[in-house]
Protein backbone atom coordinates (compact mmCIF):
# COMPACT_ATOMS: atom_id res chain seq x y z
CA UNK A 1 0.00 0.00 0.00
CA UNK A 2 1.08 3.54 -0.76
CA UNK A 3 -0.14 6.97 0.30
CA UNK A 4 -1.00 9.92 -1.90
CA UNK A 5 -1.86 13.32 -0.46
CA UNK A 6 -3.62 16.08 -2.38
CA UNK A 7 -4.82 19.54 -1.45
CA UNK A 8 -7.42 21.09 -3.71
CA UNK A 9 -9.66 23.40 -1.73
CA UNK A 10 -12.26 22.09 0.66
CA UNK A 11 -11.41 18.49 1.50
CA UNK A 12 -15.09 17.53 1.38
CA UNK A 13 -15.02 18.01 -2.39
CA UNK A 14 -11.77 16.14 -2.85
CA UNK A 15 -13.02 12.82 -1.48
CA UNK A 16 -15.66 11.80 -4.01
CA UNK A 17 -13.48 11.70 -7.17
CA UNK A 18 -11.30 9.01 -5.62
CA UNK A 19 -13.99 6.95 -3.88
CA UNK A 20 -15.05 3.46 -4.75
CA UNK A 21 -12.34 2.86 -7.31
CA UNK A 22 -10.50 -0.45 -7.53
CA UNK A 23 -7.27 -0.33 -5.58
CA UNK A 24 -8.32 2.60 -3.36
CA UNK A 25 -8.37 1.34 0.20
CA UNK A 26 -9.08 4.51 2.14
CA UNK A 27 -9.50 8.26 1.92
CA UNK A 28 -9.02 10.39 5.00
CA UNK A 29 -9.59 14.13 5.24
CA UNK A 30 -6.93 16.00 7.15
CA UNK A 31 -4.31 18.73 7.31
CA UNK A 32 -0.73 18.95 6.06
CA UNK A 33 1.97 21.52 5.55
CA UNK A 34 1.62 23.74 8.58
CA UNK A 35 3.51 24.79 11.69
CA UNK A 36 1.27 23.46 14.47
CA UNK A 37 1.20 19.92 15.78
CA UNK A 38 -2.26 18.35 15.92
CA UNK A 39 -4.11 21.36 14.54
CA UNK A 40 -7.86 21.66 14.85
CA UNK A 41 -10.21 22.69 12.10
CA UNK A 42 -10.77 25.95 13.97
CA UNK A 43 -7.02 26.67 13.80
CA UNK A 44 -6.61 25.61 10.17
CA UNK A 45 -9.60 27.55 8.86
CA UNK A 46 -8.03 30.84 10.03
CA UNK A 47 -5.21 30.31 7.54
CA UNK A 48 -2.65 31.09 10.25
CA UNK A 49 -1.52 27.53 10.97
CA UNK A 50 0.00 27.11 7.52
CA UNK A 51 -1.81 23.84 6.89
CA UNK A 52 -3.76 22.96 3.78
CA UNK A 53 -6.91 20.88 3.86
CA UNK A 54 -5.94 17.60 2.22
CA UNK A 55 -7.15 14.14 1.40
CA UNK A 56 -4.78 11.28 2.08
CA UNK A 57 -5.45 8.25 -0.08
CA UNK A 58 -4.24 4.75 0.69
CA UNK A 59 -3.96 2.81 -2.55
CA UNK A 60 -2.55 -0.32 -4.14
CA UNK A 61 -0.35 0.96 -6.96
CA UNK A 62 -0.47 -2.41 -8.73
CA UNK A 63 -4.22 -1.96 -9.19
CA UNK A 64 -4.51 1.84 -9.34
CA UNK A 65 -1.18 3.50 -10.19
CA UNK A 66 -0.20 6.93 -8.88
CA UNK A 67 -0.36 8.30 -12.43
CA UNK A 68 -4.09 7.55 -12.48
CA UNK A 69 -4.54 9.42 -9.19
CA UNK A 70 -2.82 12.44 -10.75
CA UNK A 71 -5.09 12.18 -13.78
CA UNK A 72 -8.08 12.37 -11.41
CA UNK A 73 -6.57 15.12 -9.25
CA UNK A 74 -5.87 17.81 -11.85
CA UNK A 75 -9.47 18.12 -13.17
CA UNK A 76 -10.76 18.72 -9.62
CA UNK A 77 -8.89 22.00 -9.20
CA UNK A 78 -8.11 25.37 -10.70
CA UNK A 79 -4.35 24.93 -11.07
CA UNK A 80 -3.90 28.67 -11.72
CA UNK A 81 -5.17 29.80 -8.30
CA UNK A 82 -2.66 29.59 -5.43
CA UNK A 83 -4.86 31.62 -3.06
CA UNK A 84 -7.62 29.08 -2.64
CA UNK A 85 -10.08 27.15 -4.73
CA UNK A 86 -13.39 28.46 -5.95
CA UNK A 87 -15.39 30.03 -3.10
CA UNK A 88 -12.89 28.79 -0.51
CA UNK A 89 -10.23 31.47 -0.13
CA UNK A 90 -6.98 31.42 1.80
CA UNK A 91 -3.78 29.43 2.01
CA UNK A 92 -5.57 26.57 3.77
CA UNK A 93 -7.35 25.91 0.45
CA UNK A 94 -4.29 26.16 -1.83
CA UNK A 95 -3.71 23.38 -4.37
CA UNK A 96 -0.74 21.14 -3.53
CA UNK A 97 0.47 17.71 -4.52
CA UNK A 98 2.33 16.37 -1.49
CA UNK A 99 4.65 13.61 -2.68
CA UNK A 100 5.70 10.69 -0.47
CA UNK A 101 8.73 9.51 -2.46
CA UNK A 102 10.93 10.50 -5.38
CA UNK A 103 8.87 8.51 -7.88
CA UNK A 104 5.73 10.42 -6.88
CA UNK A 105 7.65 13.70 -7.13
CA UNK A 106 8.84 12.88 -10.65
CA UNK A 107 5.38 11.80 -11.79
CA UNK A 108 3.74 14.87 -10.24
CA UNK A 109 6.23 17.19 -11.95
CA UNK A 110 5.69 15.41 -15.27
CA UNK A 111 1.92 15.68 -14.94
CA UNK A 112 2.19 19.39 -14.14
CA UNK A 113 4.36 19.92 -17.21
CA UNK A 114 1.74 18.18 -19.34
CA UNK A 115 -0.88 20.66 -18.07
CA UNK A 116 1.48 23.58 -18.77
CA UNK A 117 2.27 22.30 -22.27
CA UNK A 118 -1.39 21.71 -23.06
CA UNK A 119 -2.10 25.44 -23.27
CA UNK A 120 -5.45 24.76 -21.62
CA UNK A 121 -4.99 27.73 -19.27
CA UNK A 122 -3.91 31.27 -20.10
CA UNK A 123 -2.66 31.96 -16.57
CA UNK A 124 0.41 30.20 -15.11
CA UNK A 125 0.00 26.81 -13.46
CA UNK A 126 0.81 27.49 -9.80
CA UNK A 127 -0.14 24.22 -8.09
CA UNK A 128 2.70 23.42 -5.71
CA UNK A 129 4.52 20.09 -5.53
CA UNK A 130 5.95 19.62 -2.05
CA UNK A 131 7.28 16.80 0.11
CA UNK A 132 4.72 15.19 2.37
CA UNK A 133 5.18 16.12 6.01
CA UNK A 134 3.16 15.27 9.11
CA UNK A 135 -0.44 14.40 8.31
CA UNK A 136 -3.11 15.21 10.87
CA UNK A 137 -6.48 13.55 10.52
CA UNK A 138 -9.40 15.97 10.54
CA UNK A 139 -12.13 15.67 13.13
CA UNK A 140 -14.64 12.84 12.75
CA UNK A 141 -17.43 15.07 11.48
CA UNK A 142 -15.29 15.92 8.42
CA UNK A 143 -14.78 12.27 7.46
CA UNK A 144 -17.24 11.19 4.75
CA UNK A 145 -18.98 14.55 5.15
CA UNK A 146 -20.64 14.20 1.76
CA UNK A 147 -22.42 11.08 3.03
CA UNK A 148 -23.21 12.24 6.56
CA UNK A 149 -24.52 15.66 5.48
CA UNK A 150 -25.52 15.05 1.89
CA UNK A 151 -27.89 18.00 1.54
CA UNK A 152 -25.45 20.55 2.96
CA UNK A 153 -22.58 19.09 0.95
CA UNK A 154 -24.52 19.32 -2.31
CA UNK A 155 -25.61 22.91 -1.58
CA UNK A 156 -22.08 23.95 -0.63
CA UNK A 157 -20.57 22.32 -3.69
CA UNK A 158 -23.14 23.89 -5.99
CA UNK A 159 -22.47 27.36 -4.55
CA UNK A 160 -18.70 26.91 -4.79
CA UNK A 161 -18.47 27.16 -8.57
CA UNK A 162 -16.26 24.06 -8.68
CA UNK A 163 -18.52 22.03 -10.98
CA UNK A 164 -18.96 24.88 -13.45
CA UNK A 165 -15.20 25.40 -13.58
CA UNK A 166 -14.59 21.70 -14.13
CA UNK A 167 -17.18 21.59 -16.92
CA UNK A 168 -15.78 24.68 -18.65
CA UNK A 169 -12.08 23.88 -18.32
CA UNK A 170 -11.63 20.14 -18.07
CA UNK A 171 -14.34 18.41 -20.09
Average pLDDT, the chain: 96
pLDDT tier, 62 (very low <50, low <70, confident <90, very high otherwise): very high
Beta bridge partners of residue 55, listed in sequence order: 6, 29
**Boundaries of every domain in the chain:** 2-170
pLDDT digits (tens, 9 = 90+) for 122-157: 999 999 999 999 999 999 999 999 999 999 999 999
Q: How confident is the model at residue 103 (pLDDT cuts 50, 70, 90)?
A: very high
Q: 2-170 has which CATH code?
A: 3.30.1060.10
* Average of per-residue pLDDT across 36-53: 96
pLDDT of residue 42: 96
13 annotated active-site: no
Q: Is the pLDDT of residue 57 over 90?
A: yes
Segment 83-106 shows an average pLDDT of 97
- Check whether 171 has a pLDDT greater than 90: no
Q: In this structure, are residues 69 and 4 in contact, taking their beta carbons and an 8 Å threshold?
A: yes
Q: What is the largest CA-CA distance in the chain?
A: 40
The lowest-confidence range among 16-20, 109-113, 127-131 is 16-20
Determine the 3-state secondary structure of 120 from DSSP. Answer: coil
CB 26 within 8 A of CB 79: no
Residue 52 CA to chain centroid, in angstroms?
9
Q: Which of 12, 16, 3, 38 is nearest to 141 (CA)?
A: 12
Over range 115-122, report the average pLDDT: 96
The one catalytic residue in 4, 7, 10, 96 is 10
CA distance 81 to 96: 11
Amino acid sequence: MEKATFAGGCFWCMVTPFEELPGIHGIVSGYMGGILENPTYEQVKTGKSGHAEVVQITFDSDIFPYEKLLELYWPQIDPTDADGQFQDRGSQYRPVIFYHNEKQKKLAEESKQIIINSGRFKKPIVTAIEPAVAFYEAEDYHQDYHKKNEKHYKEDRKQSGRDEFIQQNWK
